[in-house]
Chains A and B, each alone.
Chain A
Amino acid sequence: MPVVTEIHVNGVRHSLRADGEQPLLNVLRDDLGLTGTKFGCGEGQCGACTVLVDGVPIRSCHTPVGSIGPQQVTTIEGLEKDGQLHPLQQAFLDAGAMQCAYCTSGMIMSGVVLLTKNPHPTDEEIVGFMDGNICRCGVYQRIQNAIKQAAKVMAGGQP
């Protein structure tokens, strides 16, 4: 795969030289210093490395950076706007939806996509959509609550 020379992340164009076969995750973390996206399994099984590519959630641990092209990548670092947390980030804080929090970035990125596609998800829909994200600390019930809280806040037109 050819060398990748630029990538768009969180609205910023970055110049770099990276082997196109490298996982996007490595480029984000090691070349761009965006370490909010985590390595969990390297097998696409745990969701810790979830980022958005043109709004679509992908597992960055096994997505070659050469496949991204001009698409826009969004990571956890890109959710906060002008010092204001995304409603789902705030909801995670309010619901206490984390212990070690290593899964949190991936959970929030997946949850943001769910809420974009489905602004009022039922419990079953949340479970179905989020089942690819593992929280080994077992905080699932709280994460579910956080997603529901964020759905309410977002429906209310609050930032």
Chain B
Amino acid sequence: MSEPSSSSSPELYPEQYELQGLPAARPFRFRRRAFLQLFGTGLVVLCVTRRAIAQTESGGVRGSATGQSRPANLDAWLQIATDGTITFFTGKTEVGQNIRTSLTQAVAEELPAPIDSIHAVMGDTELTPYDAGTFGSRSTPDMGLQLRRVAATAREALLDLAATLWSVDRGELTVADGKVLHVASQRAIGFGKLTQGRKLVRTISPETTVKLATEWSVAGTSVPKVNGRDYVSGRHRYASDIARPGMLFGRVLRAPAYGATLDSVETSRAEAMPGVRVVRDGDFVGVVAPSSHAAAQAVAALKATWKTHAQISEDQFFHELRGGGTPPENGLVRESDGGLTLKRTYTLAYIAHVPLEPRAAVAEWKDGKLTVWTGSQRPFGIRDSELTKAFGLGPERLRVIVPDTGSGYGGKHTGLAAVEAARLAQAVDQPVKIIWTREEEFTWAYFRPAGVIDIASRVRADGTLATWDFHNYNSGSAGIEPPYAIPDPQTKFHRADSPLPQGSYRSLAAAANHFARESHIDELAGELKIDPLEFRLRNIKNPRLLAVVDSAARAFGWGRAKIAGRGRGLAVGVDKGGHVATFAEVAVEAESGRVSVTRVVQAFDCGAVVNPDHLKLQLEGAVIQGLGGALFEAVHFENGRILNPHMASYRVPRFSDAPSVEIILVDRKDLPSAGAGETGIVTIAPALGNAICDATGLRLRSLPMAPDGLRRPG
């Protein structure tokens, strides 16, 4: 197959960049006149760099405003129509993190206007401003702030308009609930009416100030999911639900292994089926049929032969990831001064995102222009990299629309289904829908990187950390820095050739690095016979981290007597602006080795909380998702083939796996809001590992820890 291959080019797989840190700033194209034609009368507030506008209007080179660092080149705009409808536009996408709701709250707060008068247009490359993508927990700190500034600018403009209209002093006016009020004369006018049928445009200035979190009345509260009713009634249309007139259904012929090349394909049986067409373009072979069932039958009727080549299998790859070098010796050395040196190796398997909505796309060509509806976290990335490359078209002839999507967890950064649907639609000159099967989803997307982590540390007799040497092979550098006071800690991320396609996964490598670090810390505490909480307290100087540790410890009842037969563990972390402490309790069945998680308490601080209930929901979900990777999720592979590409063979957490989860929010209204979609996942694996060790004495250093109950040492 041509596109999905393990030899991922950075151009097509930009999430590879993300493994190294933040994505590179991209040039954006802004055509003000064309853009403003999209709007009717009313007030429009733009947040774009002034330089870009000036260049565009003076005939300068478009798209030359490069080199802006985030968030300066993150744009947003807002329109208040004459009828009072407020619409804001952002390139961010909703994948279940409820960013549609929290950004709506930000706008409602600053204007201020009722939540239900505000509508968000998101993730549409034709209507919304350029956005690099929805990842890295950046939507709240970056886009949230930009939209606040946009809305604040709108509010100030509306006050100006009212002052002129009524010939009153601006200082006598107040603004509330979508209206400007002049209390002295008992007058009120709706935002929409103030524009009086004109088309007014404002641009935010750098001086625009926004409300302090302590002044919030809508932001900071638990506003319910803004379009929740559409979901419980089945009305919301995900990408996989989109239908177009004349739409056909496509399927793609898949290779039996990564990197296989097509030798021959026999298509006559498929082509004899009613309404079926076979599309071939090099190694790309697809079918188009009048129903998805017929498409499935047609693709099964293709008889292909492939050239495959030998590839690294699961039993050898940890050695390969370390570059084939000799693994460092593991062991514990007790020193004469009472201190310890500990060297340990940790490993983690590849895991899959398993979004419940598989990759899906509907592609339609009209007058040489392509429109694709697809579930993704990077609509502009798909347009500017994959679709541009596949079809050689500029952005003005490509439109990507991302309906609110059936989750991503970092797994929907690529647009393979979009490209496939577009190729088939182009070949048959009709709209085509592709929904990947679960097997395709498990095989042809990409995985959370596997990794090997070596730690060598020294701790003094008093339980303070003296040296720290940490090497991550392949899994990534996020969250690699220890949150402890250690003199000159050494950390290094080593790139490796991955046998499987790999990319972003919720928190990137932070979950892996926290697993290794917090397991190691716990082992040090155990060897020194210091309580693991006390050990951490001796080494943490960060007051925000101390605060979450303290809150979680008290809620969990760390000081209380243990329940017989159960084990308890904790882990702490700092990542992407979030501070987290997780306490877990497990029960291990003596006979079967089955591990049940009985209770989790997690405290979290990400600055000023925008929506407490949705934040708790994110953290609860992160704990459950993290529990899967901690205990039993693993992708098995051999010679370029995935061995368990089904829900029946790749286990994800179910109701019966879910513990009671208690979330404690430390709301820091004095601090800017950080994102929170990811950091909640980083501490659950080590907390569970430490609890299992407390219950059984077994120190587990490989994820997943209990794929089939605990493996007894043998």
Q: Assign chain A's interface to a size class.
A: 35 or more
Contact A43 B648 (CB under 8 A): yes
Residues A21 and B293 in contact, CB atoms below 8 Å apart: yes
CB < 8 Å: which of A19, A135, A138 contacts B623?
A138
Residues of B within 8 A of A58 (CB): none
Q: How far is the CA of A127 from the CA of B618 in the complex (A)?
A: 21
**CB contacts between A and B, total, < 8 Å:** 173
Q: What 1/0 mask marks residues of chain A from 91 to 109 whose CB sits below 8 Å from any chain B CB?
A: 0110010111111110010
Summarize B's interface: helix, strand, loop or mixed.
loop
Are B625 and A41 neighbours in the complex by a CB distance under 8 Å?
no
Q: Please report the C-alpha to C-alpha distance between residue A39 and residue B404 in the assembled complex, in whole angstroms.
A: 16
B233 adjacent to A127 (CB under 8 Å) = no
Hey, what's the 0/1 contact readout for B535-548 against A, CB within 8 Å counting as 1? 00000000000000
**A126 near B233 (CB under 8 angstroms)?**
no
Any chain A CB within 8 A of the CB of B622?
yes
Partner of B647, one of A21, A36, A45: A45
Chain B residue with Cβ nearest A80:
B233
Shortest Cβ distance from residue B491 to the other chain A in the assembled complex, whole angstroms: 30
A60 interfacial by beta-carbon distance below 8 Å:
no
Whether B238 contacts A102 by the Cβ 8 Å rule is: yes
Cα separation A100 to B613 with both chains bound (whole Å): 15
B621 touches A138 (CB 8 A): yes
**Which listed residue, A22, A85, A134, A142, touches B293 by the CB 8 Å rule?**
A22
Closest beta carbon of chain A to B247's beta carbon, Å: 9
- Which of A77, A102, A137 is in CB contact (< 8 Å) with B625? A137
Closest beta carbon of chain B to A41's beta carbon, Å: 4
Which chain B residues border A39 with CB–CB below 8 Å?
Answer: 240, 358, 435
- Interchain CB contact under 8 A, B356 and A141: no
A19, A85, A89, A102: the one within 8 Å of B356 (CB): A102
Q: Which residues of B contact A103 (CB under 8 A)?
A: 356
Considering the complex, give the chain B residue whose CB is closest to the CB of A144: B655
Taken residue by residue from 270 to 313, chain B's Cβ proximity to chain A (1 for < 8 Å, 0 otherwise) reads as: 00000000000000000000011110000000000000000000
Residues of chain A lying within 8 A (CB to CB) of residue B426: none
Q: How many residues of B contact A (CB 8 A)?
A: 59
Q: In residues 116-159 of chain A, which contact B (Cβ within 8 Å)?
A: 126-128, 130-144
Residues of B within 8 A of A126 (CB): 655
Q: How far is the CB of A62 from chain B (nearest CB, A)?
A: 12
Closest to B621 in A: A138
Closest to B435 in A: A39
Q: In whole Å, how far is B21's beta carbon from the nearest beta carbon of chain A?
A: 27
The answer to whether B655 touches A136 (Cβ under 8 A) is no
Quick check: B293 and A104 within 8 Å, CB to CB? Answer: no
Which B residue's beta carbon lies closest to that of A127?
Answer: B655
A36-B233, A96-B224, A100-B95 known; A136+B625 contact, CB < 8 A: yes
Interface of A, secondary structure class, is loop
> Are A46 and B228 CB-contacts (below 8 A) given A99-B621, A100-B406, A139-B621?
no
- Contact between chains at A40 and B438 (CB < 8 Å): yes
Cβ B648 vs Cβ A100 within 8 A: no
Nearest-CB residue, chain A, relative to B660: A141
With A134-B654, A141-B661 in contact, do A36 and B617 touch (Cβ < 8 Å)? no
Closest CB of chain B to A154's CB: distance in Å? Answer: 16
Mark B160-197 against chain A: 1 for CB-CB distance below 8 A, else 0.
00000000000000000000000000000000000000
> Is B357's CB within 8 Å of the partner chain A?
yes
B372 at interface, CB cutoff 8 A: no
Per-residue CB contact flags for chain A residues 19-33 toward chain B (1 = under 8 Å, else 0) read: 101110010011001
Q: A36-B235, A102-B357 are in contact. Are A138 and B96 (CB under 8 A)?
A: no
Bound together, the chains give a CA A30 to CA B236 distance in angstroms of: 15
Q: Which 8 A-B pairs have the closest CB atoms?
A: A36-B234, A138-B624, A100-B96, A102-B406, A45-B647, A76-B234, A99-B96, A35-B241
A40-B358, A100-B407 given. 19 additional CB < 8 A pairs? A22-B291, A36-B235, A38-B238, A38-B356, A43-B648, A85-B232, A98-B228, A98-B231, A99-B621, A100-B95, A101-B232, A101-B236, A134-B647, A136-B354, A136-B356, A138-B623, A139-B624, A140-B655, A141-B620
**10 contacting pairs across A/B (C-beta < 8 A):** A89-B233, A90-B232, A92-B228, A93-B228, A98-B228, A99-B96, A101-B228, A130-B655, A139-B620, A139-B624
